[in-house]
A and B are shown apart, each in its own frame.
Chain A
Amino acid sequence: MKLNRVLVLAIVLLLGVAALGATIKVALVAPFTGLGSILGDYIKMGAQLALEEINAAGGINGDMLEMIVYDDAANPSTAANVVRRALFQDNVVAVFGPNMSSAVIGVHPLAQQAKIPMLVGATSPSFRYTKIPNDFLFRLRADDEVKVVQLVKYAVEVLGIKKPGVIYGSTDYCLAALEVAKVEFPKYGVEIVAMEQIKEGDKDATGQLLKLKNAGFDGLIGLTHESEAAVTVNQLRQLQIDVPIIGFSAWGVPAFTDLAPEAAIGVYSVQGFNPVDPDPAVVAFVDAYKARWDGKEPSDPAQAYYDGMYLLAEAIKNVGTDGTKIAQYLATKANIVGVQGELKCDEHHNFTNVCLISQFDGKDWKIINKMF
C-alpha cells in the first residue's frame, strides 16, 4: 500500500518537473577538499551566480540550467574519475573545469571522446590549441604566458630591474611560469641572477632569500602560490632586504594579502582580475556577487567561470545542446562582452588575454595598467 503511494507521489513529482520545462545539465569540476582547495569556492560561486541570473531571466529558450558540482581534490587522478562520471553517467552538455593544468592535460581527451565541450580556467600555456589541437577544449582566462610576458616587461622597463632573483614553487603552475620567465628576461638582455625554490607548505624562506641577496639581486620575481608568497614577503621585510617585488597572479589576490597585510604593501602583481576595477562590467559583477554571497568579495578565477556560463548559454541559445555544435559555435561564432571584456575564441582557444598590473596599497590593488 505504502509503496504504491510513494510511487504515485514520485510519478506526480516527475511529471511536475517535466512540465516546468527541461533542464540542461552542466558539470563543474573544481577542488573543494585537500590542501590545494582554496579556489573551489570562488569557482563555484562565480558559476552559480551566472547560472541563477540566466535562469531568473527565463532560462535558455525556456529551459533551465542545472549545475552538478564535483570535487576533484586538486588531484588529476580524481579529476579523471569525476569527469568520466559527468560525461558518461550524468550526461551533461558541457563541463567547466578542471582548474588545474595537469588535470586538464590528463582528462581533455575524454571531452573529445564524448564530444562534449570542456571550458577550463587552468592557465598553463602547454595546452594551447596550437599545441594540443582539441576542438572541444576552451580556456576562459588569459594564459600564463601572456601574464608572465607582461610581468617581465614591466619588471625590466618600468621597475628597472637588472638583476632579477626568482623565488618559485614546485607545482606545474609555478614551473610553467618559470619557464616563460627564463625565456623572456634574456630578450631584454637581462640575466636571472638566482632562482630559489620554496615548496608548498614551507614556512621559512630565510635560506632562499639570503642566497638571492648574496647573488646581488635587485628585484624579486615571485612565482609561487598564495601562502608561500605571504611567507616570502614577511621574511623579506624582517630581513630588511629592500628591493622591488613583482609577483605572478597568485601574488595579486586577497588569499595572499590577507595573510601579509603590512608586508604586501608596495608589491606589484600581474592579475587576471581586480575587484576594484572601475570597468562597469566588473563593478556590476562584483556587486551582484557580493549581494548573492553575503558580502564576500570575488577573486580570480570566479569571473572566468561567470563569463564561461554566459558563453555556454549563448551557444546553447543559438545551436541547441549538441556538444559538437556548441564547440563549433564557441570556436567560430561566440562573441559576447563579459566581465573580462570582449570574449572571443582566438587561435589558442583562449577567450581572453586580459591582464592587469597592479600595486597593493594596504587595502586594495591599485590598477597601473590594464591590457587586453
Chain B
Amino acid sequence: MKKLLFIAGAILVIILFPILNKNMYHLYLMNRALIHAILATGLVFLTGFAGQISLGQAGFYAIGAYSSAYFTVKLGMPIPVGIIIGIAISVLAGFLLSIPSFKLKAFFLSLVTIAFGQIVWMLVINLTPITGGPYGFFGIPFYSVGNNMLSFGQVFWLFGALLILCVYIMFRIKHSHFGRAMLAMNDDDVATESCGISTKRLKIAAFGFAAGLAGLAGALYAHLAGFLSPEPFTFFESSNFVAMAVVGGLRHMSGGVVGGIGLTLLPEFLRFGGWENYYLMVTSLIVIVVIIFMPMGLGPIIENLFRKIFRLKRSNTKTL
C-alpha cells in the first residue's frame, strides 16, 4: 500500500513538472538529472547490493551514447533500435569487465575499472571515423514520433517512465532468490560460494545490469543533447557517478534517484554571477560533508521526510 503510494507520488511529480514548468533550461537540466539517476541506480545495484566497485561507469555511458549515435546516424536505424543496440553492447562490455572481479577485490578491481574507463575514453578520442574523435559527433536525431519531434516535457515523461521501470526491475531482482544471493555475496563471498551459489554468475549479472543502465543513460543523453564529444566521458565523470550513488545511499532503492538528481542540480544552483570559479569547489565540499556525516546517504533521510509528510507508519519499509 505504502509502496503504491510512493510510486503514485513519484508518477504524479513526473507528470506535473513539465506542465507547471515550461522553462527550457529547467527541463533540459531535469532530463539530464533523470539520465544520471538511471545510471546511479545501476551503480547502487552493483555496489550496494552486489558489493562490486566500478570507477569506470563513464566508459559504459560512452559506449551507449556513441553506439546509439552511430547506428542511428550512420546506419539510419530508428532511435529505439539504436538505444537497444547501445544497451546491448554496453551489457556485453559489462560481462567482460566482470571477469576480473572473480579474482580481484576492492581496490584492485577499482583500478581495473579505472583502466577500462580510460581505455574507452581514449578509443573515443582516437577512433575518429566512428566517434568523430575530438571534433565531436554531430547531428544526432532528437526523439520523435512519426514526423513530430517530442517536446522536452514529453521527453521528461519518457525518461521518468524509464527511470521508474529501472527502479522497479531492481526492486524485483532484489526481492528474488537472485537478489538475496547477491546480498549474501556482499556480506561474505566465500560463505555464499560454499552454500552452492555461483558468485561468478551473480557478478556477471550485476556488472551486466549496471553496465546496461549506464549504456541506456548514455544513449538517452546522445539523443537529448544532439551531439557528443569526449569531454563528458572522463574519469572525472566516473567519480561523479560514484559520488551520486554514495551520496544518495548505496543500500537504498532510492539512492541512485536521490543522488543522481541531487548532484546534477547542486552545481547548477551554485552558479552565482561573479563567483563562477567556486561552484565545483563548494559542490565537492558538500559531498565530502554528506559522506562524513551521513554515510548512509541522503536517500533514507528523504524517505523519512516523505513518510512524515504522508504520515505513514514506520514499518518494514526500511529499504524501499
Q: Which residues of A contact B (CB under 8 A)?
A: 32-33, 68-71, 73-78, 80-82, 84-85, 87-89, 102-103, 105-106, 109, 126, 170-172, 175-176
Contact = CB atoms under 8 A, between A and B. Distances in A.
A85 B277 contact: no
A76 B229 contact: yes
27 contacts: A69-B273, A69-B276, A70-B271, A71-B279, A76-B136, A77-B225, A77-B232, A80-B28, A81-B32, A81-B268, A85-B25, A87-B24, A89-B25, A102-B135, A105-B136, A105-B138, A106-B138, A106-B225, A106-B226, A109-B226, A170-B134, A171-B134, A172-B134, A172-B136, A175-B133, A175-B134, A175-B135
A106 B134 contact: no
Given A81-B28, A81-B29, A85-B25, A32 B277 contact: yes
Contacts of A68: 273
A102 B134 contact: yes
Nearest to A75: B231
A87 B229 CA distance: 22
A173 to B, nearest CB: 8
Nearest to A197: B126
Interface string B251-284: 0000000000000000010010110110110000
Contact of B276 (A71, A77, A106, A176): A71
Contacts of A70: 271, 276
A345 B78 CA distance: 40
Given A70-B271, A76-B231, A175-B133, 13 more contacts: A33-B277, A69-B274, A76-B229, A77-B225, A77-B229, A77-B232, A84-B24, A84-B25, A87-B24, A102-B135, A105-B136, A106-B226, A172-B134
Contacts of A75: 229, 231-232
A329 to B, nearest CB: 26
A81 B135 CA distance: 19
B125 interface: yes
Given A81-B28, A170-B134, A89 B226 contact: no
Among B32, B231, B280, max chain A CB count under 10 A is at B231
Contacts of B147: none
B68 to A, nearest CB: 16
Nearest to B279: A71
A172 B227 CA distance: 15
A175 B226 CA distance: 22
Contacts of B126: 170
A348 B167 CA distance: 50
Contacts of A170: 125-126, 134
Contacts of B274: 69
B194 interface: no
A88 B136 contact: no
B136 A89 contact: no
Interface in B153-194: none
B317 interface: no
B276 A32 contact: yes
A175 B129 CA distance: 13
Nearest to A68: B273
B170 to A, nearest CB: 26
Nearest to B28: A84
A110 to B, nearest CB: 9
Contacts of A84: 24-25, 28-29
B49 to A, nearest CB: 29
Interface in B1-34: 23-26, 28-29, 32
A126 B134 CA distance: 13
A126 B232 CA distance: 22
B176 to A, nearest CB: 36
Contacts of B29: 81, 84
A126 B135 contact: yes
A170 B24 CA distance: 34
Interface string B123-145: 00110100001111010000000
A80 B25 CA distance: 10
Interface in B220-268: 225-227, 229, 231-232, 268
A304 to B, nearest CB: 19
Contacts of B227: 76, 105-106
Among A70, A73, A102, max chain B CB count under 10 A is at A102
A172 B138 CA distance: 14
A68 B273 CA distance: 6
A103 B279 CA distance: 21
Contacts of A32: 276-277
A362 B232 CA distance: 39
A195 to B, nearest CB: 14
A88 B23 contact: yes
Nearest to A132: B138
A286 B221 CA distance: 44
A106 B136 contact: yes
A106 B229 contact: yes
Contacts of B271: 70-71, 82, 85
Contacts of A171: 134
A89 B23 contact: yes
A33 B28 contact: no
A88 B24 CA distance: 6
Nearest to A90: B25
A8 B289 CA distance: 37
